[in-house]
Amino acid sequence: MKSQRKFATEHLRFAILAVDIALMTVRDGALMIRLTPVNRPPHFPNSKGLPGGLIEPSETAEEAALRLIRDRATICSKHIYFEQLYTFSELNRDPRGRVVAVAYLAVLPWEDLAKEDQEDTNKGWWVTIPEATKLAYDHDLITAVAVQRLRSRARYTTILRHLMPTEFTLSELETVYESILKTDLDKRNFRKKLLKLKAVIPLGRKKKHGAHRPAELYRFAGTKVEEIEII
């Protein structure tokens, strides 16, 4: 309660504004989310949560989110996708006092991460979605909303261009779709559809990776996220 008085939001009509970021990528076909250490006794000692921080008076929520992403993970990806997710204003989401969080969904290809951001450090690490539980604050909820949003975007748009490397095989792409949508897709129908929609373009080059037939490499058509219906 002492720490709660610190912000005195009960007396002023002000709120502390924070951003929290659900930063996601796909590694080996599995959806991963970025966690950082949280150490806020007594409620969250030695805990973990989503990257985030306070919004400065001189910046918009979006600018704060971008700053914090670059802060906590030395990320400088051209291919990062970024959208506002939801604003969380439950009174007790932060036990220290009234903190309202504007949450963002950000996704980027694993291959775009610097070496030090791929490995676990004391600044942060990547976990699969089922592992991202018992997070500090309401970050379990934010994670759930983010996964839901990403799933919905994956179904109706080409957002996966931001989760794939520039060049990929259709099997790799299918695996990522299956991982995010939690469903099995028919290989032939999946390929037929993407090619008919001209969502992907064959590069005329092959990827060899193992004792089997090499796979054609593809890239996404166009340059931005477009509306298409995948399944």
Partner DNA sequence: TAATCTTAGTGTAATATATACACTAACTAA
Partner DNA sequence: TTAGTTAGTGTATATATTACACTAAGATTA
Alpha carbons 217 and 205: distance in angstroms, whole number: 6
C-beta separation of 24 from 159 below 8 A: no
- Contacts of residue 147, defined as CB under 8 A and 6 or more positions apart, other chains included, come to 22, 31, 129
CA distances in angstroms from 152 to 142, 157, 160, 187, 214, listed in the order given = 15, 8, 11, 21, 32
Phi, psi of 207 (to 5 degrees): -110, 120
Alpha carbons 49 and 58: distance in angstroms, whole number: 25
Q: Which span (80-88, 136-144, 172-180, 203-211) binds a copy of itself, by CB under 8 A?
A: 80-88
Please count the CA atoms within 13 angstroms of the CA of 56 that sit on its side-chain side: 8
Q: Which span (68-76, 79-87, 108-116, 212-220) binds DNA, by CB under 7 A?
A: 212-220
Among 39, 43, 70, 90, binds a copy of itself (CB under 8 A): 90
C-beta separation of 138 from 84 below 8 A: no
188 binds DNA (CB under 7 A): yes
Among 43, 45, 91, 186, binds a copy of itself (CB under 8 A): 91
| Strand partners of residue 81 | 107
Side chain identity at residue 170, one-letter code: L
Question: How many beta carbons lie within 10 A of that of residue 27, not counting itself?
Answer: 14
9 binds a copy of itself (CB under 8 A): yes
Q: Which does 219 bind (CB under 5 to 8 A by kind): DNA, a copy of itself, none?
A: none
227 binds DNA (CB under 7 A): no
216 binds DNA (CB under 7 A): yes
Q: Which two tokens stand for residue 66?
A: 């971008």
For residues 9 and 175, which CB has a smaller minimum distance to a copy of itself in the complex?
9
144 binds DNA (CB under 7 A): no
183 binds a copy of itself (CB under 8 A): no
C-beta separation of 151 from 181 below 8 A: yes
Site string for a copy of itself, 17-36 (x = CB under 8 A): x-------------------
Site string for a copy of itself, 102-141 (x = CB under 8 A): x---------------------------------------
71 binds a copy of itself (CB under 8 A): no
Shortest distance, position 162 Cβ to DNA, whole Å: 21
Q: Which residues bind a copy of itself (CB under 8 A)?
A: 9-17, 54-62, 84, 86-87, 89-91, 98, 100, 102
Q: Which residues bind DNA (CB under 7 A)?
A: 169-172, 186-189, 191-193, 206, 208, 210-216, 229, 231
